[in-house]
Amino acid sequence: MADVAAYLLNNAHIALVPFYAFGSDKESPWFRLSVGTCSMDDVNGSIASLENALGQLKW
Describe the crossing of helices 40-55 and 2-11 by its angle, rounded to 10 degrees: 120
C-alpha 45, offset from chain centre: 13
The C-alpha atoms of residue 30 and residue 56 are separated, in whole angstroms, by: 23
Residue 44 has a pLDDT of 92
For the chain (59 residues), the mean pLDDT of every run of 10, in chain order, is 88 90 90 83 93 92
Three-state secondary structure call for residue 26: coil
pLDDT of residue 25: 93
Range of the domain at 16: 2-55
Residue 27 and residue 30: Cα distance in Å, rounded? 9
Q: Label each residue of 5-19 as H, E or C.
A: HHHHHHHCCCCCEEH
Please tell me the total count of domains within the chain: 1
